[in-house]
Structure 1
Amino acid sequence: MTVPRPAGLILLLFALVASLSIAALLWGEAPIDVFAAFRDWVAGRPTVGAVILGQLRLPRLLLALMVGGTLGLCGAVLQGYLRNPLADPGLLGVSGGAALGAVCVFYTGLFQIAAALLPLGGLLGAAAATTLLVALVGRGGPLVLLLAGAALSSFTAALTALVLNLVPSPYATFEIMRWLMGSLTDRTMTDVMLALPGVVIGCFLMLGTGRALDALTMGEDVAESLGFRLHGLRGVQMRVVAGAALAVGSCVAVSGAIGFVGLVVPHLLRPLTGHRPARLLIPSALGGAALVLASDLAVRMLAGRAELKLGVVTALIGAPVFFHRVILFRKQGAL
């Protein structure tokens, strides 16, 4: 039986993301007239509402959409390409490279000179990790990608631990650990603009792999019989690797590590898309954006003496959902 295109699911998820976006703009400790504040912000009038909207709430909203959408999309693409339901964006090791770059900025004290140097350091670390990953993978297949990602993750984690071990100031160590937990607090439009190019290019590359991912679900031999020759499949791999690395690295550079989004969201939505990788891409991006937006709203609502970190909340939400999926698969005999 042919499964219809998930237009209804996409509309439902889009409506959910739109509702959460409106809530993110309206919610805050200081009540403001959002429409008046937006007009003042566009006109360049430095009113209190314009400052709150333009420097606090709007950047946080845009980054939540970018980070959540990227992680959801990347998880769906990697799971489809590797044909592995446990694949997630952290598999490539680029997240560790971005974290290492940011940690080095903390270690050298450069973040005290200009706030923008922190995400820039993360971007440089992500770029270095991406270059190394592409060089390691070369013309290798999915297994080589898995091994290269595991090796890069271990290497960057070891270097990050080394930097933490060498940090002379306990305060700097505390700040590094807080950043590594993942957060969208105190981000600005500068962070948005730094992450935007990598996110746009990376997501564009990943979205173009849908038809090939559908073919690969039946194996490389069948994919070749459908017109995807071996060199074409290697091209698909490069699009997956480069796209995921660019987009995820750019997000981690400005938000820190936010886990479980790319792992859980495709699992929840896959049965609603007929288990077709191409049909899962856009719903996963919207679902990831919705999950990060909802988690960030929960962070803001639960804020007390110390605000919870977004990465902690997504893990607390994602892990039980994933445990439930594992138990369900075991009952169905799928594991």
Structure 2
Amino acid sequence: MSIASPARHVRVLYTGGTIGMQASANGLAPASGFEARMREQLAAQPDLVVPNWSFEELLPLIDSANMTPAYWQRLREAVVQAVDGQGCDAVLILHGTDTLAYSAAAMSFQLLGLRAPVLFTGSMLPAGVEGSDAWENVNGALGDLARGLEAGVHLHFHGALLPPTRCAKVRSSGRNPFAALRRTGGAARVAPMPAALDYRQPRQPASIGVLPLYPGLGVPLLQAVLDSGVQALLLECYGSGTGPSDNAPFLDTLRSATDRGIVVVALTQCQEGGVELDVYEAGSRLRDAGVLSGGGMTRETALGKLHALLGAGLPVAEVRRLVELDLCGELA
């Protein structure tokens, strides 16, 4: 485990999001100029201890509802350039809340091996409006970095530090929108880490589908998703990882998909607990069809993990092995 030390020079990466939005003809929209606003509010608080920092806008600024895996690669490259190219010893990412948990989880896997802390934050209300939490979160995050954080990805919101691979956005308004979910399902830590997963290695685009099970889900829909070109499918199952075990065509479709190299991972739809495929027959039949256990991983975390594994160009057999092992606390 790395030693936490106070940051001396923080790179602030501004992606857009509610925190810096301003009114437009069509409602709140991302806006430039946040650096000046940030410097002005910090200058008004001379007793606040924060590290030296520099600012970069990732243009075009986006509403986080428009986040994509391709943007994650831009974000990874900006972090690597700041740390390895320009000598920053920490990075603060300002990000919209709608997909913040997805991006923070994805970066946890994209930045494996980086020897610097990367901290995500945002706000529920834009800076400058009544009751906004923007400066509370920015100043709190800078304070965390001034005190020192261990290398790796972190999430700061409303005074709390949350583990990115264990949390989700659970509220669309008000305070404390993010929560660390009580997920279970441990696994051994990968050692040594495969060289292909090092943060400096190039990444390829990956195609991953997500499909929740529900009563009445038919084989044609499952088949359509599997035939859409996906390399992996996150199957959001009931309870501890159960599905329609009496539906032979459904199981045959999953078996055929895994036989042709599609990685199928079972997640739980529940807020708490995790997948244990061998508890019920309805789960063990999924395992027999080649479905892997996602343990206690959230959708956000499993999606980010699969993008990292498949994007690294690992063989399917190695991807399948690593899915069920812990890389950065997602299955601890």
Shorter-chain TM-score above 0.5? no
- Larger % of helix: which? 1
> TM-score per shorter chain, which class?
under 0.3
- Larger % of strand: which? 2
The alignment's TM-score, normalised by the length of structure 1, stands at 0.25
Higher relative contact order (CA 8 A, sep 6+): 1
The alignment's TM-score, normalised by the length of structure 2, stands at 0.25
